[in-house]
Amino acid sequence: MWPFNRSQPMTPPVQTEWRSASIENPTVKVSEENFLAFFGQSSANLPSVTIDSALRVPAVLAAVSFLSRTLAYLPLHAYRDTDKGAVKVGGKLQTIVRDAPNPEMGSFKFRQYFWQQVFTGGRGLAWIERSGSSVENIWPINAKKVTIKRRGLKLVYQFEGKEYPAEDIIDVAFMLKDDQTGHHGPIQMAAKAIQLALAMNDYGSQFFAGGGVPPLALTGPLAAGADGIKRSMDDTWRAIEAAKKSDKPVFAIPPGYELKPVGFDPAKGQMIDARRFQVEEFARAWQLPPVFLQDLTRATFTNAEQQDLHLVKHLIGHWAGALEDEMNLKLFGRGRGSRYVRHNLDGIMRGDLKTRIEAIARAVQTAQMTPNEARALEERAAHSNPAADELLVQGATVVLGQQPERGIGDNGGPPLDDNGEQNAAAA
């Protein structure tokens, strides 16, 4: 136990030496902020990220456009539970939910704008206009102009000098903050990745705008004095510009001088691979399978089909449920009774006619729906045949052990040695 009961002098702490200047340039401090300046370069000036600037990145535009259009395209109906099951309601409520929430916007346009707000700024808001207990219209609200506060235990929305209670506002957030009033938006959360994409876009456009010529350094016996150096650079620049305008691949520079590229070659800097990786980054930010951002780099027939299923099960279905819950709560209240709204996710399968028709046919043949119910799914008129309103099942399907016993013959007919007709004639 001697290491613990011996009294030993403490080792003095190691004194770390900090230098405030580099050997090459005493005016530049050795710090992370000045790392680029350590090599004679200024620090990177990344572009600022706003919603408008982010939408100039093709992958971001594709993600926002695809999700907002897909969710707006889904059929949305109002239903009422009855003893015979759910039936669609009619009247003004169905018109507001399915056709036109207000006199100025159809259902697709309204919901597309709503989801665009969710997938850019991070929040979609809409005001429910009521007359007594009746819903008259639903109006979209610009979330950037809304202030959300808690007054006591109540949530209020301040918009253009007015306050609206929470029960009159349809509110879907991309991600709520811990105070439950603020929110995070996907563009804000992916700002660094968007900055990188914008910087690569700017670099690429500037590189090719200069004819694919990288920044050049003129080396050689330059004239003495600042004016002489400037004249040499101007002469060389004019020679380069003249060659570009005349489409000549060769231009002359003064003897003894040499042009050397400054910067990096985009191919060596893996710019193409980096831009492709940015597509994957944005797919993660919006939880989209990459194939829906037109990235087929690793797509095969099988995994592309699985990504279709992933889209509906793990993304579209979640956001559709978020809007359904919010509309059911705000339109009908907590005790909504038998009324509710719901998306028809089968609508997303309309593009695959073969699979859709086969699924409907199987549902009719197995008595899961009547022929007229199947026709209603395709928005076709009901058939006049009374049997079209009955559940049907194939006659060959019977309970195990109760199948009829027949003699062995052709295709289940009478036995092959049955001479009943000949025996009757002989008698």
| Of the candidate ranges 39-48, 335-344, 347-356, the one whose mean pLDDT is the lowest | 39-48
84 domain residue, yes or no: yes
Domain boundary residue among 321, 349, 377? 349
Flag whether 6 is in a domain.
no
Q: Number of folded domains in the chain? A: 3
Residue 205 predicted with pLDDT over 80: no
Do residues 61 and 175 both lie within one domain? yes
The one-letter code for the residue type at 379 is E
Looking at the domain assignment, is residue 238 inside a domain? no
- Mean pLDDT, all residues of the chain: 80
Residue 36 clears pLDDT 80, i.e. is over it = no
Among 84-98, 104-118, 206-220, 292-306, the range with the most confident prediction by mean pLDDT is 104-118
Q: Does one domain contain both 84 and 113?
A: yes
Same domain, 28 and 54: no
The answer to whether residue 418 is domain-embedded is: no
Query: Is the pLDDT assigned to residue 426 strictly greater than 70?
Result: no
- The two tokens of residue 317 are 């279905």
What is the model's pLDDT at position 208?
Answer: 61
pLDDT surpassing 60 at residue 133 = yes
Dist CA 362 CA 314 (whole Å): 26
**Domain membership of residue 23 as a residue range:** 16-45
Q: Is the pLDDT of residue 268 over 60?
A: no
Grouping H, G, I as helix, E, B as strand and the rest as coil, residue 269 is coil
The verdict on residue 20 lying in a domain is: yes
Phi then psi for residue 38, to 5 deg, are: -55, -30
Choose among 109, 80, 112, 74: nearest CA to 93. 80
Query: Does residue 59 lie in a domain region?
Result: yes
Answer yes or no: do 25 and 56 share one domain.
no
Are 339 and 358 in the same domain? no
Higher pLDDT, 285 or 249: 285
What confidence category does residue 153 fall into, taking pLDDT thresholds of 50, 70 and 90? confident
Rounded to whole angstroms, the Cα distance separating 168 from 96 reads 15
Q: How confident is the model at residue 1 (pLDDT cuts 50, 70, 90)?
A: very low
How do residues 55-97 score in pLDDT, each as one tens digit?
Answer: 999 999 999 999 999 999 999 999 999 887 888 898 999 999 9
H or E stretch at 91: helix 91-94
Q: Is residue 366 located within the same domain as residue 378? A: yes
Rounded to whole angstroms, how far apart are CA atoms 172 and 124? Answer: 5
The Cβ of residue 158 has, within 10 Å, a number of other Cβ atoms equal to 13
Phi, psi of 95 (to 5 degrees): -65, -45
Supply the pLDDT for residue 107.
97
Domain boundary among 349, 366, 391: 349
SS (H, E, C) 326-367: HHHHHHHCCCCCCEEEEECHHHHHCCCHHHHHHHHHHHHHEC
Coil, strand, or helix at residue 124?
A: strand
Instruction: Let me know if residue 367 belongs to a domain.
Output: yes
Q: How confident is the model at residue 22 (pLDDT cuts 50, 70, 90)?
A: very low
Judge if 286 and 327 occupy the same domain: yes
Q: pLDDT value at position 2?
A: 41
Please give the C-alpha separations between residue 240 and each of 180, 204, 214, 227, in angstroms, as whole numbers.
Answer: 59, 20, 12, 20
At 12 the pLDDT is 47
One-letter amino acid at 121 equals: G
Same domain (yes/no): 66, 186:
yes
Residue 17 has pLDDT above 60, yes or no: no
Please write the tens of the pLDDT for every residue from 116-131: 999 999 999 999 999 9
Instruction: Report the pLDDT averaged over residues 354-376.
Output: 89
Share of the chain above pLDDT 90, in %: 43
Rounded-to-integer distance, Cα 29 and Cα 290, Å: 44
Give yes or no for a contact between 294 and 62, defined as CB atoms under 8 angstroms apart: yes
334 inside domain? yes
* 13 vs 282: which has the higher pLDDT: 282
The distance in angstroms from the start CA to the end CA of the chain is: 122
Higher pLDDT, 248 or 15: 248
**Are 302 and 379 within one domain?**
no
Report the candidate in 138, 135, 139, 140 with the shortest Cα–Cα distance to residue 91: 135
Greatest mean pLDDT range, 14-28, 142-156, 258-272:
142-156
Residue 135 and residue 270 in one domain: yes
Surface-to-core class of residue 122, CB atoms within 10 Å of its CB (0-12 exposed, 13-18 middle, 19+ buried):
buried
Same domain, 33 and 52: no
Residues 197 and 56 in one domain: yes
pLDDT score of 349: 67
